[in-house]
């Protein structure tokens, strides 16, 4: 690492107090978890504003301070434009999908897939989805480990395992309610610390006007290759698909009491995602002016060590840890729900009781966490956080979630289309990117087009079984009520 900055005693006190608060909240909420339904869906009693804050926290992580900040350091405000793909995706999702997920009356996306396509697709996407969630969360955990390595002065691998241990300490006990309550606390910490860093960094750079004068290209929203139309079109498209098939987002939409609450939850999430990158990414642009020539992925962290006084640096570390810990807690919870309800209870122990399923849920969370931690240690060797994330999202994520996202809109596709979509997506993505060496944006647009085509044509060319058709008809009747 290029920078190793031990924290002061006051910083460690602040961080310890933060962890104690999170653990205490998790243990307290664990008193109210009596069943697997409480553990996974909060009993459908989650207030919409709390669901929005939790959903927002689940969609960001220290990935913002590492990967997006690295883009901001290199190319400027185009990083904000790239991040705003989440705003468009979530806002459209609130309008198009929120009420549909409520009417589907499910606690996991996999339950919906069985109603839509049948038990076989539920199992197929469950296994594929768990594998993708493990790969996707490796990048988030890598970002957390990098923060710990730079700011705590510990090895990357130690930071990764430390992060996993903290997440497990509170999410294993309290389930979704623990995640929700700690998300609200962490959101407040995150915004407070990020605002403080914004003001300090702009002051150090001589103000926003001076920064614009020093780095004019960085304030061109279309600067760099990520500002091209093709890149933005491809990125916005896959973010729309991925986020609206995001298990944690769907889990939040189905955990609030009714359709209006689900829509309000989605819209508030979009507003928070609109505001946050302005606060979080301008300091990384200031870092380009104040600290030229450093590792872009360490720009935000290094600037923190230069500008924040003792105590405040501990709060900033807590805030960045909060972002990833919150996301990972949500991901571990929803992935464990799929392992428990859609794989264990369906394949191995259909007559298992609530106590057994709750125990399996907690063991499943441990297994997922361990796999994520092992993989996170390899991300740096694969090109860094942003590059690995966008490649995995296009190559694996999009083909898996298309049947969930478009299956609730289009009635024609069937099981044959699902299999064709996933296989075509993974194979065509690998061929376009690795064999034909097409640019990421061209390969991604071609791959998504191929996935959508074979997904729809599967229902046209291959007959749908009577059982699948009857189940599908029932689902769409519920959606049209």
Which residues, 6+ apart, have CB-to-CB distance to 270 below 8 Å?
Answer: 86, 87, 90, 91, 94
What is the chain's mean pLDDT, rounded?
83
> Model-level pTM?
0.81
Q: Torsion-angle region of residue 280: left (phi > 0), alpha (psi -120 to 50) or beta?
A: alpha
Q: Which of 441, 14, 479 is nearest to 228 (CA)?
A: 441
Q: Which of 431, 429, 422 is nearest to 458 (CA)?
A: 422
pLDDT band at 451 (very low <50, low <70, confident <90, very high): very high
Does pLDDT of 159 surpass 70? Answer: yes
Question: Which residue is associated with the tokens 């990384």?
Answer: 284
List, for residues 249-282, the tens digit of each pLDDT value. Answer: 887 788 888 889 999 999 999 999 999 999 999 9
d(CA 445, CA 455): 15
Average pLDDT over residues 185-211: 89
Helix (H) / strand (E) containing 164: helix 156-204
User: Who has greater pLDDT, 360 or 247?
Assistant: 360
Residue 342's CB is within 10 A of a number of other CB atoms, namely 24
Q: Give the side-chain half-sphere CA count within 13 A for 23.
A: 10
User: Who has greater pLDDT, 447 or 6?
Assistant: 447
Average pLDDT over residues 367-383: 78
């Amino acid at each position: 690492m290029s920078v190793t900055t031990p924290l002061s005693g006051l910083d460690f006190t602040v961080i310890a107090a933060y962890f104690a608060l999170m653990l205490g909240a998790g243990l307290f909420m664990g008193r109210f978890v009596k069943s697997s339904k409480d553990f996974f869906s909060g009993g459908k009693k989650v207030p919409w504003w709390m669901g929005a804050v939790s959903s927002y926290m689940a969609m960001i992580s220290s990935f913002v301070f590492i990967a997006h900040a690295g883009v901001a350091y290199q190319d400027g405000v185009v990083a904000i434009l790239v991040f705003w793909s989440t705003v468009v995706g979530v806002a459209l999702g609130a309008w198009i999908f929120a009420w549909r997920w409520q009417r589907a009356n499910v606690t996991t996306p996999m339950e919906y897939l069985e109603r839509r396509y049948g038990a076989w697709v539920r199992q197929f996407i469950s296994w594929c989805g768990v594998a993708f969630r493990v790969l996707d969360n490796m990048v988030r955990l890598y970002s957390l480990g990098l923060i710990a390595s730079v700011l705590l002065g510990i090895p990357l691998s130690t930071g990764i395992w430390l992060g996993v241990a903290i997440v497990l300490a509170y999410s294993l006990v309290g389930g979704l309610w623990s995640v929700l309550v700690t998300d609200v606390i962490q959101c407040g910490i995150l915004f407070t610390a990020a605002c403080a860093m914004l003001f300090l960094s702009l002051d150090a750079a001589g103000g926003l006007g001076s920064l614009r004068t020093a780095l004019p290209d960085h304030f061109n929203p279309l600067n760099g290759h990520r500002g091209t139309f093709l890149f933005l079109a491809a990125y916005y498209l896959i973010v729309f698909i991925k986020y609206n098939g995001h298990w944690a987002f769907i889990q939040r939409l189905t955990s609030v009491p009714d359709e209006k609450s689900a829509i309000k939850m989605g819209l508030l999430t979009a507003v928070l995602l609109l505001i946050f990158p302005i606060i979080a990414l301008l300091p990384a642009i200031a870092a380009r002016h104040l600290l030229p020539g450093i590792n872009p992925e360490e720009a935000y962290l290094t600037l923190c060590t230069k500008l924040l006084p003792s105590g405040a640096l501990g709060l900033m570390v807590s805030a960045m840890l909060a972002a990833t810990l919150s996301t990972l807690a949500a991901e571990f919870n929803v992935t464990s729900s799929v392992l428990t309800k859609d794989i264990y209870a369906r394949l191995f122990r259909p007559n298992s009781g609530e106590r057994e399923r709750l125990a399996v849920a907690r063991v499943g969370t441990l297994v997922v966490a361990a796999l994520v931690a092992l993989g996170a240690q390899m991300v740096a060797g694969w090109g860094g956080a942003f590059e690995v994330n966008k490649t995995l999202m296009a190559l694996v994520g999009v083909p898996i979630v298309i049947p969930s996202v478009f299956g609730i809109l289009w009635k024609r596709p069937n099981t044959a289309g699902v299999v064709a979509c996933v296989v075509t997506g993974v194979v065509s993505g690998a061929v376009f990117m690795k064999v034909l060496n097409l640019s990421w944006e061209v390969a991604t647009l071609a791959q998504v087009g191929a996935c959508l085509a074979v997904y729809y044509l599967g229902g046209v060319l291959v007959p749908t079984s009577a059982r699948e058709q009857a189940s599908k008809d029932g689902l769409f009747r519920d959606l049209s009520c």
